[in-house]
Structure 1
Amino acid sequence: MGRLRERIDDRLGDPIWWNDVLHLAKTVLAAVTAWVIAASVLDLPQPFLAPWAALLVVHATVYRTFSKGFQQVAATVVAVLLATAVGETLGLSTAAVALLLVLALLVGAVPWLGAEATTIATTGLVVLTTGFESDVLLISRLLDTAIGVAVGLLVNVVVWPPLGRRTAAEAMDRIDDEIGELLVDIAGGLGDGCQEEDVTGWIDRTRDLDGDLEHAWALVRQAQESARMNPRRPAREMKNPEQWHELLRRMEQAVAETRSLARTLGGQQAHRETWGEAFADPWISMLGDAGRAAGGADPAALTEVRHRLEAFTEELRATERSAEWPIYGALIINLRNIVDAMGKVAEAHPIRGNRLPLQVPQIRGDAPAG
């Protein structure tokens, strides 16, 4: 139960999850409201296009709601007109369905419609198969579409317009935590005597981090887009998020340096025995400390590791004459670059998204395990 409570608390405090929940709730609200207006208030005969159009225009950002939404609305209107024309010419038949699909896919290829061929085809099929006999029905369907569009736009603009700042910040926060965890694991593996499969696992984890970085870039771009046409005051900061871009580039560098470090380690079959304790112990210690500082967003600790690394390098330069100097140099440079990159990320700690203060209520008598 304690583990389940912890997982639920983590989910409740996760702004990325709440962003998805909010978008889902707004989409449902827009569709249901459009249905109620079309079916109950205006009593239109076939009001299904109202919630359909509302679903199409509620996007993750206000800007996309207007830009992409209008393309989808235009596609819906084209589909209604196209299905009506085909139905009145050929009736409801196999030939009519085939002709409608061909025309819909051809019209959907027009660049201005933003590749909405599927929307045109599916909407056209629904309209064709549910009736097309009267002009009144055609007007009703166009009115349904207009209601859905208006409701969708209004809901997305008025009801807490989405701003992806917190979501992007949380994604970036997770990445520097994962980088720090990987560095600590590498240091621990070297201390215990790593095997080839350990090195392969570390390299694979850097590839996973590359995927996380791509996702974070997408979230930052979405956050920047969410600031356009957004009336909320915090949106100003995200209109030109150069600081965020710089942090992502530095995390990319840290991941690349970590992969290079792991590949260097993979070429060494007996690390401690080959390097000697004079190099192995201090360097592994600094690698672990750098990982803990990066994961904890502690710029002072990273600076302290940087100073230790500089002093260690000078000491080696003055005393060491090992044949392993090329390996020493490669590992020292990798660690120095990681520390420098993550130091800037740690200094930007205020940019991070704070976890939401939401938890499962503590039940009386449910004492935490101790």
Structure 2
Amino acid sequence: MGGFEMEKVRTWVDDRLSDPIWWNDCLQLAKTVLAAVAAWVIAASVLDLPQPFLAPWSALLVVHATVYRTFSKGAQQVAATVVAVLLATAVGEWLGLTTGSMALLLAVALLLGSVPWLGAEATTIAATGVVVLATGFDDDVMLVSRLLDTAIGVAVGLLVNVIVWPPLRRRTAAKALDRIDDGIGELLIDMAGGLGDGCQDEDITAWIDRTRDLDEDLDQAWALVRQAQESARMNPRRSARPMKNPEHWHELLRRMEQAIAETRSLARTLGGQSAHRETWGEAFATPWIKMLGDAGRAASEADPGGLLDVRRRLVELSEEMRATERSPEWPIYGALIINLRNIIDAMDVVAEANPIGAPPLPIHLPQRRSAVPRESA
């Protein structure tokens, strides 16, 4: 593998090691495996239950992304598992293990989807019921054993998710917000570069498409912030308290929402101009395009001072053009100045808050030391 490929692999690994979303996924996977294995060991080795498969199954069901969801959804899934065990036992005692009993079991389990509280767990009831019916149902001791298996899995899943680093999705949400303001800044920089080189219609279309991609990222960020707020509920960690009412984060998301809309409006305005620099004149085009790029760099670097400096220069340009310019392009000047001013006004508070929530994870691969030749005496 060449040096370039090795550097790409190193960059990819470093990105993963410093990505809180990736670490959250790894932690959740490890906790789920830990809960299932611990439930199996307790049921099979400690209590020596005859068929302990329901213990890890129940543990898997109750380990969720947040403590609150572990309790709320876990309660539904526990109820679904208990209903499935009782239903399979009743059907098996009545009809035995036959094609008819299997069909009846599945039909009743899926019909339970009409019950609002259990509706989302109809598949869980059906799957658990099939396993119980197929592995034995004709023993009261077996019924008690299976209910005990379920209780063990639920208890272990809850304890693992609450005690072992209870999930707090703050870093995940913060990373999503940081990616959006970086994306807005990069788009403004690219637009300034494109205008300087003479952009085409396909460039305008690409810029508008990128604002739509940012809208999708914004929707995901809203969902992650709501998940972070949920993760703070019933969470014993002290750092969970600020996330119980993340109004500041909501304000930042609304500001980025406005910045994206203003950027799309700016791109559409540019799309109506066939030859930008020649039409506008250098007196407006040169300083405005430079300010557009500077605003993008300040947004990407989370530099509120840089954004305020661009706003000051924008006001000066507006006053100067108003005093000296009598161009018929003034409506275009005004639209572009207002769009850029609104982007700056939306992003300066976002830049001031960056990094949002917490600094990035300082985890990376160690750099390989290069040999340095000794200086001759």
- Which TM-score applies when normalising by structure 2? 0.95
Q: Paired residue for 1:191? A: 196
Tell me if structure 2 keeps the 8 A contact 1:293–1:299.
Answer: yes
% same residue? 79
Tell me if structure 1 keeps the 8 A contact 2:178–2:355.
Answer: no
| Partner deviation per Cα, 1:39-75 (whole Å, 9 max, x = no partner) | 1111111111100100000001001100111001100
Tell me if structure 1 keeps the 8 A contact 2:87–2:105.
Answer: yes
Residue 132, structure 1, aligned to residue 137, structure 2 = yes
Quick one: distance in 1 between partners of 2:247 and 2:300?
Answer: 23
Quick one: distance in 2 between partners of 1:57 and 1:125?
Answer: 20
Tell me if structure 2 keeps the 8 A contact 1:166–1:353.
Answer: yes
Q: 1:315 aligns with which of 313, 320, 328?
A: 320
Q: Paired residue for 1:293? A: 298
Q: CA 1:364/1:310 → structure 2, altered by over 3 Å: closer, same or farther?
A: closer
Q: Which amino acid aligns with 2:75?
A: F
Residue 269, structure 1, aligned to residue 274, structure 2 = yes
Q: CA 1:316/1:364 → structure 2, altered by over 3 Å: closer, same or farther?
A: closer
CA displacement at 1:146 relative to structure 2: 0.2
Residue 256, structure 1, aligned to residue 261, structure 2 = yes
Q: Paired residue for 2:213? A: 208
Quick one: distance in 1 between partners of 2:39 and 2:96?
Answer: 30
| Partner deviation per Cα, 1:82-106 (whole Å, 9 max, x = no partner) | 1111111111112111111111011
Residue 305, structure 1, aligned to residue 310, structure 2 = yes
Alignment of 1:118-129 (within 5 A): 118-129=123-134
Q: Paired residue for 2:331? A: 326
Residue 84, structure 1, aligned to residue 89, structure 2 = yes
Unaligned segments of structure 1, at least 5 residues? none
Q: Paired residue for 1:154? A: 159
Task: Tell me how many residue pairs correspond in the alignment.
Answer: 367
Tell me if structure 2 keeps the 8 A contact 1:75–1:108.
Answer: no
Q: Paired residue for 2:20? A: 15
CA displacement at 1:364 relative to structure 2: 5.1
Q: CA 1:94/1:256 → structure 2, altered by over 3 Å: closer, same or farther?
A: same
Q: Paired residue for 1:33? A: 38
Q: Paired residue for 1:60? A: 65
Tell me if structure 2 keeps the 8 A contact 1:84–1:132.
Answer: yes
Q: CA 1:92/1:356 → structure 2, altered by over 3 Å: closer, same or farther?
A: same
Tell me if structure 1 keeps the 8 A contact 2:43–2:149.
Answer: yes
The DSSP-based 3-state class of the residue aligned with 2:360 is coil
Q: Paired residue for 2:106? A: 101
CA displacement at 1:247 relative to structure 2: 0.1
Structure 1 window deviating more from structure 2 (129-138 vs 248-257): it is 129-138
Tell me if structure 2 keeps the 8 A contact 1:290–1:302.
Answer: yes
Tell me if structure 2 keeps the 8 A contact 1:108–1:120.
Answer: no
Unaligned segments of structure 2, at least 5 residues? 1-5, 373-377
| Partner deviation per Cα, 1:221-261 (whole Å, 9 max, x = no partner) | 01101111111101110010000000000000000100111
Quick one: distance in 2 between partners of 1:299 and 1:173?
Answer: 14
CA displacement at 1:152 relative to structure 2: 0.2
Structure 1 window deviating more from structure 2 (269-278 vs 65-74): it is 269-278
Quick one: distance in 2 between partners of 1:161 and 1:334?
Answer: 43
Tell me if structure 1 keeps the 8 A contact 2:170–2:357.
Answer: no
Q: Which amino acid aligns with 1:160?
A: W
Runs of 4+ in 1 over 6 A off after TM superposition: none
- Which TM-score applies when normalising by structure 1? 0.97
Tell me if structure 1 keeps the 8 A contact 2:39–2:153.
Answer: yes
Q: Paired residue for 2:3? A: none
Quick one: distance in 2 between partners of 1:366 and 1:128?
Answer: 68
Q: Which amino acid aligns with 1:61?
A: T
The DSSP-based 3-state class of the residue aligned with 2:358 is coil
Q: Which amino acid aligns with 1:54?
A: A
